[in-house]
Amino acid sequence: MKGKKERLLGVPFDYEATDATDQSPPTALEKGLMRLILKALGDPQIKVILWDGEALDPVDAPAMVLRERAALWRLLYYPTLHFGDDYSAGRIDIEGGLEQFLSRFYTAYRRMPKFMEALQQGLTRYRHIRGNPQHRARDNIYHHYDIGNDFYRLWLDEEMVYTCAYYAPGITTLEAAQQAKMEHVCRKLRLKPGETVVDAGCGWGALARYMAKHYDVHVRAFNVSREQVAYARDKARAEGLEGRVEFIEDDYRNISGQYDAFVSIGMLEHVGSKHYRELGGIIDRSLKKNGRGLIHTIGQNRPLPTSTWTQRRIFPGGYPPTLGEMSAIFSPYDFSILDVENLRPHYAQTLRHWLARFDQQQDEVSRMYDERFVRTWRLYLTGSIANFSSGYLQLFQVLFTRPSNNQLPTTRDDIYDGDY
């Protein structure tokens, strides 16, 4: 510890000033606090190993290794930020399987008793009073869209689809599952040749090109990322689709014109729930009388905040909505929800494929980025697997139309007619 004035009854109040070289054995207080937390979480069958090698809950379970005293105090002080940051920095390690550890932790965390929630709120207030450490740690922010195409090319499928795939029966590869996802979306939208589609947040443009190629529709696709739009245009040109797919480097709020279909895959997570009504208005003015819309988004069962680490390091402003929150998009404009499908297990599988490729490409990634980056991304991908497989996160595809549209098939049989 830095100095005596920063401690009271053994608690270092200025935890950020703790000395990394201090390797004196854990105190009874430190061990007691960790045990208390595990107990309060309902003994989630995870082990904690302290910097002197002592295992706190000696069960045969995945273990969190705290490499130094400061990691423990940081974790106590701001768990939703520092677990991730200290893992990235190598001050925390996981033994016995990162996914298994996180799955058990998330399951326990979701069942957290009320008094732990109150404690967390108290901590938030305390941190607020002491001043937020985020401003001192901007060096390890790896926001998704600050990273170039070259990184994603290493571990995404060949079409660069960075959203949940669809493992239709018999499909086992990522490539085929991403194609099946695009086909699934097209079938749900009941696209007909010659129709027009607007794609809000089109990523690298795979869906827009798929629709034009396989459904003979005209697509206008919006994306704010210059690099992604450039890539999408190149691909469309190479495939001779220029006349049928138009990539526009602009915000979805500037969508103009009227279309037979509105589609948005993996954008809503970044919209922010206070903009849902505005988004609904944009859809309302963009859809023709019998137009259909599909929103594909990560979601959740309860409106819980995203972890601080994910917010700060991965997805600034990201939030996975509940279906109830999503109704702010549809309800004010009298849209009828026709079909909601929860593809949660498909996202766990998609992420497993991504992580396996990421690990295969580790040498390449390490040449491009430092160790902290590699650990950050491994934690993010593995944590996402655990989030989806434990049921913390959902993946909703929501199909909707105007209430007076009586032109659609009345059952979903046609969607399941024929292979993917």
Residues that bind its own copies (CB under 8 A): 107, 110, 166-169, 301-303, 322-324, 326-328, 330-332, 334-346, 389-392, 394, 396, 402-406, 410-413, 415-416
3-state helix/strand/coil string of 330-398: HHHHCCEEEEEEECHHHHHHHHHHHHHHHHHCHHHHHHHCCHHHHHHHHHHHHHHHHHHHCCCCEEEEE
Residue whose CB is less far from its own copies, 233 or 346: 346
Would you give the DSSP letter of residue 57? Answer: S
Residue whose CB is less far from its own copies, 65 or 415: 415
Residue whose CB is less far from its own copies, 296 or 313: 296
Least Å distance, CB 405 to its own copies, is 7
Residue whose CB is less far from its own copies, 193 or 409: 409
Cα separation, 14 vs 7, whole angstroms: 8
B/e letters for 18-41, b = 16+ CB within 10 Å, e = fewer, are: beeeeeeebeeebbebbeebbeeb
Is residue 2 within 8 Å of 18, Cβ to Cβ?
A: yes
Residue whose CB is less far from its own copies, 331 or 362: 331
Residue whose CB is less far from its own copies, 306 or 376: 306
Least Å distance, CB 417 to its own copies, is 8
274's tokens: 């206070």
Least Å distance, CB 334 to its own copies, is 5
Q: How many CA atoms lie within 13 A of 205 on its CB side?
A: 33
Least Å distance, CB 174 to its own copies, is 15
Residue whose CB is less far from its own copies, 53 or 418: 418
Cα separation, 44 vs 246, whole angstroms: 51
Least Å distance, CB 327 to its own copies, is 3
Residue whose CB is less far from its own copies, 6 or 341: 341
In sequence order, which residues have a C-beta less than 8 Å from that of residue 303 and are 6 or more positions away?
321, 322, 324, 325
Least Å distance, CB 385 to its own copies, is 13
Is residue 287 within 8 Å of 259, Cβ to Cβ?
A: yes
- Please choose, from the candidates 159, 204, 154, the residue with its C-alpha nearest in 3D space to the C-alpha of residue 180: 159
Neighbours of 204 (CB within 10 A): 26
Cα separation, 139 vs 134, whole angstroms: 10
Residue whose CB is less far from its own copies, 113 or 403: 403
Least Å distance, CB 183 to its own copies, is 13
11's tokens: 């608690």
Least Å distance, CB 242 to its own copies, is 35
- Please choose, from the candidates 120, 15, 28, the residue with its C-alpha nearest in 3D space to the C-alpha of residue 69: 15
Residue 61: its H or E element = none
Least Å distance, CB 339 to its own copies, is 6
Cα separation, 252 vs 264, whole angstroms: 10
Residue whose CB is less far from its own copies, 148 or 324: 324
B/e letters for 349-376, b = 16+ CB within 10 Å, e = fewer, are: bbbbbbbeebeebeeebeeeeeebbbbb
Side chain identity, residue 39: K
Tally the residues of the chain.
420
Least Å distance, CB 138 to its own copies, is 34
Give how far the C-alpha of residue 303 lies from the chain's centroid of Cα atoms, to the nearest Å.
Answer: 15
